[in-house]
Structure 1
């Protein structure tokens, strides 16, 4: 069973964007593993609270212009 875990900043993606990502990632897994993988493919999109991670040794917060939700 393919399992894809995507972490993204909280409120960085709309519900429609998450749905599209889920669909496109599933299609990618089917390309690699065959159509038999489709019903068993899990795509988990985790939203990380703003300020909950570091980038380049600095606390990261998403810029206001990138917030969709």
Structure 2
């Protein structure tokens, strides 16, 4: 530029899609951590329709599930 200064403007607002992204991520995290909280309880419960697994089996499946989520 000949003798002029380059002026960069900064956006004043977030893009419209950021709100959709935020709420999608929020509900995805809520469902993931809710699933983790209830997974072992469901696997060991025998009386109310659960799988009735032993604690060791449930812990192994839970560990595998958590590891695969972080790998993927």
Shared fold (TM-score greater than 0.5)?
no
Q: Which has the larger radius of gyration?
A: 2
Q: Which has the higher contact order (CA 8 A, sep 6+)?
A: 1
Q: Write 1 or 2 for the structure with the bigger share of strand.
A: 1
What TM-score results when the alignment is normalised by the length of structure 2? 0.29
What TM-score results when the alignment is normalised by the length of structure 1? 0.30
